[in-house]
Amino acid sequence: MTTTEITYVGSPIDRVDGLEKVTGRARYASEHNPRDLTYAAPVQATIARGEVKGMDAGAALKVPGMIAVIWHGNAPRLAPSDAAELSVLQSPRVAYRGQYVAVAIAETLEAAREAAALLRVEYSEEAHDVELRADHPRLYRPDHVNPRLPADDVRGDPDAALASAPVVVDATYTTPAEHNNPMEPHATVAEWDGGGLTVHDSTQGPTALRGQLAPLFGMPPEQVRIISPHVGGGFGSKGLAHPHVVLAALAAKQVGRPVKLTVTRREMFAVTGYRTPTIQRVRLGAEEDGRLIAISHEACEQSSTIAEFAEQTTVATRMMYAAPHRRTTHRLVRLDVPTPSWMRAPGEAPGMFALESAMDELAVACGVDPVELRVRNEPATDPDTGLPFSSRNLVACLREGARRFGWDARDPRPGVRRRGGLLYGTGVASSTYPAYRSPSQASARAEPDGTFTVRIAAADLGTGARTVLTQIAADTLRAPAERVRVEIGDSALPQASIAGGSMGTASWGTAVVRACEALVRELERTGGVVPPGGAEASAATAEEVRGQEKYARHAFGAQFAEVAVDADTGETRVTRLLGVFAAGRIVNPKTARSQFVGGMTMGLSMALFEESVMDARFGDYLNNDLAQYHIAANADVRDIEAFWVEEDDPHLNPMGTKGIGEIGIVGTAAAVANAVHHATGIRVRDLPIRLDRLVR
Amino acid sequence: MRPFAYERPADVRSAVATLGAGTDAMYLGGGTNLVDLMRLGVAEPGTLVDVTRVTPAAIEETPDGGLLIGAGVRNGDLAAHPLVRRRYPVLAQAVLSGASGQIRNMATVGGNLLQRTRCSYFQDVTKPCNKRSPGSGCPARTGDHRNLAIFGHSESCVATHPSDMAVALAALGAVVHVEGPGGARTVPMPGLHRLPGEDPSRDTVLEPGDLITAVEVPALPLAARSRYRKARDRASFSFAVVSVAAVLELDGERRVRDCRIAFGAVAHVPWRAGSAEAALRGAPATVEEFARAADAEVRGARPLPLNAFKVPLAHNLLVRVLADLAETS
Ligand SMILES: Cc1cc2nc3c(=O)[nH]c(=O)nc-3n(C[C@H](O)[C@H](O)[C@H](O)COP(=O)(O)OP(=O)(O)OC[C@H]3O[C@@H](n4cnc5c(N)ncnc54)[C@H](O)[C@@H]3O)c2cc1C
Ligand code: SF4
């Protein structure tokens, strides 16, 4: 066995699949073209609630190259399931505008689309309700919020404490519905073969997708194979199975040929999830010096009538700051809307916009510097669980960020920095994200030629997962990284948790380390000689993860923004954005910086641009393309820097890592909104901060 | 997408003849708007007549010192042309502020003038829209019209024309050269685009089969001092929320000798600001006078519930652009 002095973990090595990607050799789901391939074009409901009464496929079936039209009237039956969203074409009910009601299959994509456009669907329409309101009569308290946390949590007597607090901030913040727009569209190529199903898909979790898909077709998971070697962005929208995957598999079963279904950008706005809009009331009660006495954070959010997706909007507020009295609640209303799902930092991103804006309002009300205010409210142990933090370096991030940003020279007065026609201001906000870990399995294999193969059904969404797992494996095997091949993105590999919750590296890395350690032990037994047939070992981490010590594990960060607001037009540009994060050990500074900067860019985009506009009369999101749904363009992203503080936390996992995929988007919008207030004196509590909120 | 035929005629006359003969044929420029609309099912031509090779792709000087811009000139080439930049900065800036580099390299001058509104109901064939489907109604009027008209809209349509280039051309008083089934003629700008009235299905005064062959920009020495300023939701690659094209000339006493002003994204047409121009001529070049002129124009605005902010925005933009132009005079 080869030994080497290099430690890869901590090195900014290039992506192991970089060359493959930039030369176009990396194949994504929809680039898979099996023999006899057919193409699917789904038909989406044009009513928000009601029933499909009939289908006139006459004209559609005459399109040359047309193979079949499938709707609930002729669709193969799926096994009964609680996952109503995935029971596609099983019932005539329409739960939201844009839901799949039929699919056209043809020899070419063009023919399928033309046929889909010619299908005449007859509906009986019912009155619908798609408007989230804080006074909606059907708001209710869900049993729990994601991921199985209590919906409400009350400590002390927040109402009494607020009533007697010397300083009180009471404000309502709103965030709009937002849609993930990964560059690679959601796409599925489904193929049946001898009773088994093979699916090339763009997914964040091959194992999880297999687990969702197999029971619908009444099969054991082993009979379904999900292949997804490369994913061009997901941000949560490829984390759970969405209806198009089932639709493709169902269609392939019906026509007896492979089916390709690529979700268009427009379709995506109804069927692949989105961030729920929120209405959040935050009340903070504090002493004159800014020390918190009470925090109340109450959120209203929506889900569809067919699935309860209860986002954890106020959960971060349970552990951010010390306060003897605290209330955090969630109220949900089930509307005739598409089903929301995960979008980068679900819960934390909108929730921390509200909390961190309110903290800025409190800083202004108390005349305390916003950095200092946060430092003053730093808890000694987790205010939620009472457990010690495995590590908590929020204060270090705030201080380091303030130093790098030049915060100390800041004049707190709003609206006084005018240069040319521009008003300048700066703002700060805290970031946080939990450090989760999930059970996973991995195998490691040594060949006589000195190479190694590590296998795990992980997913690389462009984050660099394949690269960091290679680094982790190479270090554990004490082998050069060039000799280590990591295979991921296939449900036939040892099962793994999804790329979500910022827990990929922690979860998969643990399994990879354990499998590689087992292999090293195996090779030690054979005296370092790899037998002619190779040597292999595997590991499963369920026990290790379940048995871990009790700590509150969270990553923290601080973000500083400078904005320039055009005094005449209200146009806001973020001229500087600087983040400092404490997220455990950084495995690869190059890919990590991309994650932080990417998250912050998406946060900037959330602050200034992103909003899915619902038309209540029709019940769908109107701005369903990239010309209308604005995400930050290059010209909006000027000067973004991400740094991290050293954090040596022994209570996490063998690598000492916390997740970094989501924390970058948490707090950014508040930092920008706080900077806008500093620039203009106008407090914008409703995202996005578009010019119409500022022009006077 | 409905299947269609593609034709590439040899010259202008045969292009016009093809369109005259076919019932559902359409001209194709760079295709950056039309092809999108075909994919959406909004446009369903049976035949596309590619005119990028028959309309001139050159920019020539006219004897009187103006420019004759071929309808086939790509937007990118127009903005980069040295004479355009020197004589009509407002035009170069307007074109450069639109779309993206890739789109400008494909888009033609003719196609830019005739691009359709970005109203989202118009682009969705599952919804009513008087412009796309006459008589079906206008959901924008009572729905999402944040970026639609504040001037000149009607009960039947509140859409805006989205072109930046057209705003500069309207300010400069350009003349559009048209070849139609009945022969050649010219149409002045403003005047090419029309207000929606009761028939929003027609964006312009052009008749079926009319082909734009060129746009003539008159000699206008004062246009050397001109500016385009576009307020938008993000720093690039987005349509105007409100834009203004302005040309300003002062005399020796710093009074306004002459001016040309047009607003974009406020009406179904590039909105030539006649009231503001009248108020400015002869007035001292001060911010107070500029504000008075802007008031005179926006007084005529009839904003809708969600776009009232466009009124102060148009006002402020105009004052700012005039002040900037005056400062450099
Ligand atoms: C994402 C995106 C962003 C954009 N942003 C902006 C922006 O910020 N500002 C802006 O101004 N524009 C913007 N555009 C629009 C762009 O400028 C237009 O799509 C383009 O100018 C159209 O030119 P074309 O040659 O591609 O026209 P085509 O799409 O080929 O044609 C458009 C129309 O004109 C007709 N036509 C074309 N040539 C002639 C002719 N010679 N005579 C008669 N009829 C003709 C066609 O039949 C069709 O009806 C954007 C477009 C996109 C897709
Ligand atoms: S504003 Fe005009 S284009 Fe928009 S929906 Fe109304 S009629 Fe159609």
Answer whether B250's CB lies under 8 Å from B256's CB: yes
Residue A450 CB neighbours (<10 A): 12
Tens digit of pLDDT for each residue in B262-316?
A: 999 999 999 999 999 999 999 999 999 999 999 999 999 999 999 999 999 999 9
Partner residue opposite B317 with nearest CB, options A113, A117, A569: A569
Q: Measured between CB atoms, does A445 come within 8 Å of chain B?
A: no
Q: Measured between CB atoms, does B35 come within 8 Å of chain A?
A: no
DSSP 3-state of A94: strand
Best of A101, A695, A696 to disrupt the B interface by mutation (most B CBs within 10 Å)? A695
Tens digit of pLDDT for each residue in A476-534?
A: 999 999 999 999 999 999 999 999 999 999 999 999 999 999 999 999 999 989 999 99
Best of B313, B319, B322, B324 to disrupt the A interface by mutation (most A CBs within 10 Å)? B313
- What strands lie across the sheet with B240-250, from one edge to the other? B226-232, B240-250, B256-264, B271-272
CATH 3.30.390.50 fits B229-327, yes or no: yes
A570/B313 touch (CB, cutoff 8 Å), yes or no: yes
- Which residues in chain B are contacts of A113 at CB distance < 8 A? 1
Per-residue pLDDT, B1: 76
Tens digit of pLDDT for each residue in A411-434?
A: 999 999 999 999 999 999 999 999
Chain B: residue whose CA lies nearest to A47:
B126
Confidence at B329, pLDDT banded by 50, 70, 90: confident
pLDDT > 70 fraction of chain A, expressed in percent and rounded: 99
Q: Which residues of A are catalytic?
A: 662
Q: What are the sequence ranges of the domains in chain B? A: 229-327
Tokens at A509, concatenated:
């890395």
Is pLDDT above 90 for A195?
no
Q: Measured between CB atoms, does A420 come within 8 Å of chain B?
A: no
Per-residue pLDDT, A3: 47
Best of B40, B123, B160, B234 to disrupt the A interface by mutation (most A CBs within 10 Å)? B234
Chain B: residue whose CA lies nearest to A690:
B233
Tokens at A681, concatenated:
């004196």
DSSP 3-state of A402: helix
- Extended beta strands in A482-534, E state: 484-487
Segment 194-253 of chain B within 8 Å of chain A by CB: 231-239, 241
Tens digit of pLDDT for each residue in B173-188?
A: 999 999 999 999 999 9
Per-residue pLDDT, B165: 98
Does residue B164's CB lie within 6 angstroms of at least one atom of ligand 1?
Answer: yes
- Which residues in chain A are contacts of B309 at CB distance < 8 A? 691-692, 695
- Which residues in chain B are contacts of A635 at CB distance < 8 A? 234-237
A691/B236 touch (CB, cutoff 8 Å), yes or no: no
- Per-position b or e across A572-587, b if 16+ CB within 10 A of its CB: bbbebbbbbbbbbbbb
Partner residue opposite B234 with nearest CB, options A613, A630, A696: A630
B233/A691 touch (CB, cutoff 8 Å), yes or no: yes
Confidence at B20, pLDDT banded by 50, 70, 90: confident
Averaged pLDDT of chain A: 97
Per-residue pLDDT, A98: 98
Is pLDDT above 70 for B85?
yes
Averaged pLDDT of chain B: 96
DSSP 3-state of A519: helix
Partner residue opposite A632 with nearest CB, options B1, B234, B320: B234
* pTM of the entire predicted model: 0.97
- Which residues in chain B are contacts of A617 at CB distance < 8 A? 139, 142-143
Per-residue pLDDT, B23: 74
- Calpha distance B167→B171 (Å, rounded): 6
Segment 145-164 of chain B within 8 Å of chain A by CB: 146
Radius of gyration of chain B (CA): 19
Answer whether A560's CB lies under 8 Å from A402's CB: yes
Is pLDDT above 90 for A551?
yes
Q: Measured between CB atoms, does A636 come within 8 Å of chain B?
A: yes
Averaged pLDDT for residues A218-222: 97
What lies within 8 Å, CB to CB, of B104 at 6+ separation is B74, B75, B76, B79, B95, B96, B98
Does residue B243's CB lie within 6 angstroms of at least one atom of ligand 1?
Answer: no
- Calpha distance A192→B42 (Å, rounded): 37
A628/B319 touch (CB, cutoff 8 Å), yes or no: no
Tokens at B68, concatenated:
């004759």
Averaged pLDDT for residues B107-117: 98
3-state secondary structure labels for all residues of A184-246: CCCEEEEEEECCEEEEEECCCCHHHHHHHHHHHCCCCHHHEEEECCCCCCCCCCCCCCCHHHH
Tokens at A682, concatenated:
């106008």
How distant is the Cα of B219 from the closest Cα of chain A, in angstroms?
32
Answer whether A232's CB lies under 8 Å from A462's CB: yes
Pairing of strands A167-175, A278-286: antiparallel
Answer whether B250's CB lies under 8 Å from B257's CB: yes
Tens digit of pLDDT for each residue in A304-329?
A: 999 999 999 999 999 999 999 999 99
**CA-proximal residue: ligand 2, atom 2 (nearest):** B157
CA atoms within 13 A on the CB side of A584: 31
Confidence at B21, pLDDT banded by 50, 70, 90: low
Per-residue pLDDT, A407: 98
B120/A628 touch (CB, cutoff 8 Å), yes or no: yes
Tens digit of pLDDT for each residue in A629-660?
A: 999 999 999 999 999 999 999 999 999 999 99
Q: Measured between CB atoms, does A571 come within 8 Å of chain B?
A: yes
> Both ends of chain B: CA-CA distance in Å?
53
- Per-position b or e across B14-38, b if 16+ CB within 10 A of its CB: ebbebbeebeebbbbbbbbbbebbb
Per-residue pLDDT, A6: 63
- Calpha distance A251→A38 (Å, rounded): 10
Q: Measured between CB atoms, does B144 come within 8 Å of chain A?
A: yes
- CA B266 to chain centroid: 11
DSSP 3-state of A172: strand
Domains along chain A with CATH numbers: 35-47+49-127+181-271 (3.30.365.10), 144-178+275-435+551-693 (3.30.365.10), 438-546 (3.30.365.10)
